Amino acid sequence: MAGRTLREEQVSATRELLLTAAERLFAEHGVYAVSNRQVSEAAGQGNNTAVGYHFGTKADLVRAIVRKHAARIEEIRARLLADLADPDDVRGWVDCLVRPALEHLAALGSPTWYARFCAQVVSDPALHRIMVEEALTSPSLQTIIEGLERCLPDLPAEVSAERGEMVRHLIVHVAADRERALAEHTPTPRSSWDDAATGLADAVVGMWLAPVTPAR
């Protein structure tokens, strides 16, 4: 295969500029408060229809942002899974579950916008499905959930399901809280993403191991 042409390089660079501008504007002002035209302008594109040309609709742009980050988070998750020492240890599985997203944010350097963007997307009735399809259906995530369930054999299926949902919410919103606090220079409980991940993992282990009150 020949190398990429100059034209391909330019297209790739323009797409990257648009993705970065969109993510920042969406995080700071809201996914719906920002127009595709504003994204094109913020990305330095003379052509105000650049988003439409390169991505399509607002939803397509959102999907492209999620896909970019999900691929990197998946790499971190695969590495943590490969390093998992003890498959009978709840903490090890929980670390594989909660650390990848926060480690990814740490690796991006400051400031980041992806966590606040994600918190909006998962909470939006029209965009929610994009996050499920692009980030929550990865096979390695399923491996982790199954590994956790093998460590906790007595958990009723309904409790396992609801705790799984709770963990997903905590990862997204704890990360968004911390990112917002860093951006706005307001206090946040932990001094690093790594410590925040430790606090989150502690809480999640407690949650998974919590005794179950029988339903009435």
Q: Are 200 and 168 in contact (CB under 8 A)?
A: no
* Residue given tokens 């988070």 in the structure block: 73
Interface residues for its own copies in 191-210 (CB under 8 A)? 191, 194-196, 198-210
Check residue 8 for interaction with its own copies (CB under 8 A).
Answer: no
Check residue 20 for interaction with its own copies (CB under 8 A).
Answer: no
Can you list the alpha helix ranges (DSSP code H) found in 44-89?
A: 50-54, 58-82
How many Å apart are CA 182 and CA 199, to the nearest integer?
Answer: 17
Check residue 29 for interaction with its own copies (CB under 8 A).
Answer: yes
**In the complex, minimum distance from the CB of residue 189 to its own copies, in angstroms, rounded to a whole number:** 4
User: Which region among 1-9, 14-22, 48-56, 184-192 touches its own copies (by CB under 8 A)?
Assistant: 184-192
Residue 77 or 116 having the CB closest to its own copies: 116
What's the first-to-final CA gap in the chain, in angstroms? 65
Q: 22, 144, 174, 193: which one contacts its own copies (CB under 8 A)? A: 174
Question: What x/- string results for residues 47 through 86 when contact with its own copies is judged by CB under 8 A?
Answer: ----------------------------------------
Number of residues written out for the chain: 216
Give how far Cα 188 sits from Cα of 24, 98, 114, 170, 176, Å: 21, 18, 17, 15, 11
Q: Provide DSSP, 78-99.
A: HHHHHT---TT-HHHHHHHHHH
**In the complex, minimum distance from the CB of residue 1 to its own copies, in angstroms, rounded to a whole number:** 43
* Residue given tokens 């502690």 in the structure block: 202
Interface residues for its own copies in 95-154 (CB under 8 A)? 116, 119-120, 122-126
Instruction: Please give the single-letter amino acid code of residue 134.
Output: E
- Footprint on this chain of its own copies (rule: CB under 8 A): 27-33, 116, 119-120, 122-126, 158-159, 161-163, 165-166, 169-170, 173-174, 176-177, 180, 189-191, 194-196, 198-213, 215-216
